[in-house]
Amino acid sequence: MDHVDAGPAAPEGTAEQVAEALLSSAVGGATAPGRRRTRFHPLRVAEVRALTDDAVEVTFAIPEALHGEFDYLAGQHVALRATIDGHEMRRSYSLCRPPAPGSISVAIKRDRGGRFSTWAQTQLRPGDEIDVMSPQGTFTSTIAALDGAHVAGIAAGSGITPMMALAATVLARSETSRFTLVYTNRSTSDVMFADDLADLKDRYPTRLALHHVLSREQRTAPLLSGRIDEPRLRRILDALVLPETVDEWFLCGPFALVQLCRDTLADVGVDAAHVRYELFTTGEPGREEPGRGRPVEVRDDEPVRRIDFSLDGQSSSVESPVAAHESILNAALRVRPDVPFACAGGVCGTCRARLVEGSVTMTENYALEPDELERGFVLTCQSHPTTDRVVVDYDV
């Protein structure tokens, strides 16, 4: 099996030098790890720390041999894989700490009815070992020169997770950079990383502007009390986060809030190229888990689509009945259980591949950038063939 380039090797030197090298590349640049062929690796849980009554931070130890596989940019995420009640389950979680050698950390908030998040909060313990996929994602800074840059983030609930890594990295990278964070929750008890945010504010009192907005708890400032709707958001942009002073925006939360922020920022003149966004899913009960591919019976008398794909240097083929209207991912999993995926909802981008031949329709896309679409990339979990033969390449 051919080895696929997984990005630059881990920097050499002392632990302090390695940490500095990772930090210097953590917001982008020539040495930053790019898209890589993602793989699962078994990692040991080093610590489980309570953040709120229904959220924990889980830290994994990274063996020295895997340091290069787990280099990452602030804002990226990993997928976790575990077998729960006999079912394989995968979920993606953002990395919440600035890049450092030897460990990675994610925050997991328990969702109502969420099997994976409930299991992680109630059952996961230090010493346990589960599969973790190498980091990926494009929710990262595109600013080449950070000196004097002003970065702003708007987050809701567990959307704070990538903001923790982004804010800490941006502020540590330059003595003149600024970060403004608007963080909305229902009440004070729902605020994840409350102490960590306070510590970050103490460390950078003049360069970090932190605004907590609570929808079900009265705050001294009326502007910060209540749900963020369009009128409130516009007042926040007028009084707290002046768009003309911001070089780059990061939005993370549920679809409705992220879309509201995108539309409002566009309306006040913010270039979409300067806005990065990421959605979080809630793992609703009954959500279909792709597993090894939904069983599909191919009869001799019905029309089929032929799907050819390359993965790790090996070519595979599978037939998919036209009437089944199944995704490329589901069909591919029937013949190659190692096909990469995580959320299967068009959000994480793990199943990304390049369309080499044929055509498809994509149901959803919250992960691919416009330039990736122009180069022919698709999300195989959301792509349905519309021609008799489709060829995709996971190895590009």
**pLDDT tens digit sequence for 46-99:** 999 999 999 999 999 999 999 999 999 999 999 999 999 888 899 999 999 999
Most confident stretch, 12-21, 277-286, 364-373: 364-373
Nearest to 46 by CA among 89, 85, 97: 97
pLDDT at 3 over 50: no
Residue 18 pLDDT exceeds 50? no
Numbered ranges of CATH 3.10.20.30 in the chain: 304-393
Give the mean pLDDT of 338-364: 91
How high is the pLDDT of residue 302?
A: 84
pLDDT of residue 33: 46
Q: CA triplet 115, 120, 121: central angle to 5 degrees? A: 105
Alpha-carbon dihedral 229, 232, 236, 242, rounded to 10 degrees:
70
Q: Which residues pair with 353 in a beta bridge?
A: 378
The residue with greater pLDDT, 165 or 26, is: 165
Q: What is the pLDDT averaged over residues 143-171?
A: 90
Sort 206 into a burial class: Cβ within 10 Å, 0-12 / 13-18 / 19+: exposed
Distances in Å between the Cα of 309 and the Cα atoms of 295, 313, 315, 354, 358 are 19, 10, 6, 10, 12
Contact between 281 and 343 (Cβ < 8 Å): yes
Half-sphere exposure of residue 74, counting CA atoms within 13 Å on the CB side?
A: 28
Look up residue 69 and give its amino acid.
Answer: E
CATH of 150-281, picked from 3.30.365.10, 3.40.50.80, 2.40.30.10, 3.30.360.10, is 3.40.50.80
- CATH code: domain 37-136 is 2.40.30.10
Q: Inform me whether the pLDDT recorded for 2 exceeds 80.
A: no
- CATH code for 304-393? 3.10.20.30
Domain with CATH 2.40.30.10 in the chain: 37-136
Residues of the chain with CATH 3.40.50.80: 150-281
Highest mean pLDDT: which range of 17-26, 108-117, 140-149, 232-241:
232-241
pLDDT of 287: 46
CA–CA distance, 125 with 47 (Å, rounded to integer): 7
For a pLDDT cut of 90, what percent of the chain falls above it?
A: 70
How many C-beta atoms surround the C-beta of residue 360 within 10 A?
21
In the predicted model, is pLDDT for residue 173 greater than 70? yes
Per the DSSP assignment, residues forming a β-bridge with 182 are 154, 211
Q: Give mean pLDDT, residues 238-260.
A: 96
